[in-house]
Structure 1
Amino acid sequence: MKISDNIKSARIGRGLTIEELSSLAGVSIDKIERIENDENFALKDPYGRLYAKKLCQFLQLDCNLPSETLEINLIKEKNQKFSQKVLEFLPHLFAGFILVAFIYANANLNKNPTFQVDPIQHKEETKQATITSESQDNKITFIVLKADDEVWITATIDGEKTIFNIKKGEEKTLYFENKIVLDTVGNADKLKIMFGDQEVKISDREIIHNVFVDSEGIFYNGYNVLRGAPKI
């Protein structure tokens, strides 16, 4: 029997309406209706499986739901894109190097300049360069997601959207250049985010939307939750 039919039959067998099951199991009416009438939603959609699993647990059914198979290796994908960009840029870099070398050689043929460095100015410039370098080195460019239970995430990373699943006890590293938008998080109360040396429990709710992460912090409803703002 299909999972959707199994859930529907168990609900009817217990004499429960969809409204009553929604109230008891904590799953919205529209989600129950879709699960009962759309097998693909219950089997293939990560959020559909989440709600179907919850209904099966409440109705004490062995639905034997399959595990999430769509896993994205973000680190590998990031390295591949970076390598591709480097290969595309190399010809331009080589041409620029030849042009600079030609200009420099031509200038040395016409004159033999001498250079004098003001020690104070040089020291200040060196100090400023050190500060800039340290600032760049300390810039946050990734977060680590930790799951206390199975979590589903739809995320947009530097403009590219993807869906992935983190198993219980698993960690996943997300790299970014500009920002990450966690469009939707299922089982959000089971997710923690490592941002630099800080660990943030993201929510006490099951589903949340639109959490922004950039090098400055983790933002929700306009607040940076790392700076004492209200909890997500």
Structure 2
Amino acid sequence: MSIGNSPEADRPSVGAALQKARIGAGLTVEEVSTTTRVRIPLVHAIEQDDFSRCGGDVYARGHIRALARAVSLDSRPLIDQFDAEHGGRPAPTPAAPLYEAERIRSEPRRPNWTAAMVAAIVAVVGFAGFTLFTGGDKSDSGQVAAGDAHAKPAPAPTRHPSTIRPTLKPEPSDSAVAGLPKDKVTIKVTARDGQSWISAKDASGKLLEDGLLKQGESKTITDKKRIDLVLGNAGAVQLYVNGKEVKQVGEKGTVERLSYTPGDPQAG
């Protein structure tokens, strides 16, 4: 017997359906109670749609299934009807996330005391070796330095402005001049304040030097008799003849023609 396809208006209650099926099967309440182990008062209450004595909806559904099985009745439509009349079946609580969280929870890491002790021993041994290697002198000096760390530094001595002398450009020493050969003429040209073009010839007109001298570069030219020198941008060069500086070679941008022989510088 099935009531699942009955119209809603004609559908009997859950208790009435169970009672009708029990009577149709020719069974008494006592027989159903013996078969299902559901107490007789509870069978009477369920057939009267009183589920308050079941102890909750979960137990009520279990009793409905047992009674329906005893009278050869499909219990699924009765369970659905019961849920519809009593607020529906609660949604099951998913257990998988809790299980996963418990499964992947790692054990708390314990401190690795062995590694810590090994590291401490290595540090002590290394410090002792370093102390022995450096020796006691450095230790004494370190103690002295530590003792003086709190001392205030001595103030720097002040000098009266009248005692401060300007830094003078060193002149070529006599030994440097004396070191040059006196039977030759020696010229040193330095492009001090800019580049300069130079040309140098000997007494016979032979070309000794010719080219551009970049700023900072120097050329040294030597001859036995005479050097005829041509300087472009003469004011930018520094000129030494036989170890002595020639002052005021010329103005910047001008071309100067000079001639020198052994001995003191003399402009030709």
- Give the TM-score category using the shorter length: 0.3 to 0.5
Q: Which has more radius of gyration? A: 2
Structure having greater relative contact order (Cα 8 Å, sep ≥ 6): 1
Normalised to the residue count of structure 2, the TM-score between the two structures is 0.29
- Structure with the larger strand share: 1
- Structure with the larger helix share: 1
Normalised to the residue count of structure 1, the TM-score between the two structures is 0.33
